């Protein structure tokens, strides 16, 4: 009987190569691809909406209730043009120089999209200018004042 040829582990190297390629593909799909696609996004892409609704704080035990925010837009606020129609809150305005009208309209869109009115609510909005997501705290009835982000102030009315 002829001697047996030595065992070949070529199949092990092929399997290791396939697993490595699959692992690299998963990493690209999960981490790299969203970053690349997000950098190239523009205003026409679909909006991803995250709304966080907070419960109003309980009234203090001494019976003092803080007054509602001012129900008029300050004269110093800069009115923004509307980019979507809505019957309830038709306009937005910016209250600080670091706030863009594009972001103000995104905040208005996010506020209108969530269902809570009259009480404090937290929303999350992505700035079309920076591409960054900011958390905004909003309160008011006729004029809703939203503050947050990097010193952003938005009036929705």
pLDDT averaged over the chain? 79
Strands 92-94 and 121-126: unpaired
Give the predicted TM-score (pTM) of the model: 0.55
First to last CA, the chain: 94
Strands of the sheet with 133-139, listed across from one edge? 50-52, 121-126, 133-139, 144-148, 152-156, 92-94, 78-80
Residue pLDDT, tens place only, 14-58: 899 999 999 988 887 777 666 666 544 444 444 444 444 444 444
pLDDT at 61 over 60: no
Domain ranges of the chain: 50-54+73-156
Query: What's the pLDDT score for residue 135?
Result: 94
Residue 30 sits at φ, ψ, to 5 deg, of: -85, -40
2-17 per-residue burial string, b: 16 or more CB within 10 A, e: under 16 = eeeeeeeeeeeeeeee
């Amino acid at each position: 009987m002829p001697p047996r040829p030595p065992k070949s582990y070529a199949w092990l190297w092929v399997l290791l190569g396939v697993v490595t390629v699959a692992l690299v593909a998963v990493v690209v799909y999960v981490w790299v691809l969203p970053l690349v696609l997000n950098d190239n996004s523009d205003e026409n892409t679909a909006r991803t909406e995250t709304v966080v609704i907070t419960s109003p704080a309980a009234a203090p035990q001494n019976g003092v209730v803080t007054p509602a925010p001012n129900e008029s837009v300050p004269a110093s606020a800069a009115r923004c043009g509307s980019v979507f129609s809505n019957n309830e809150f038709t306009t937005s305005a910016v209250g600080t120089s670091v706030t863009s009208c594009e972001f103000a309209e995104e905040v208005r869109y996010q506020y209108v999209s969530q269902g809570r009115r009259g009480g404090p609510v937290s929303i999350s909005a992505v700035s079309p200018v920076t591409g960054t997501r900011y958390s905004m705290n909003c309160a008011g009835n006729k004029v809703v004042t939203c503050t947050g982000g990097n010193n952003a102030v938005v009036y929705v009315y």
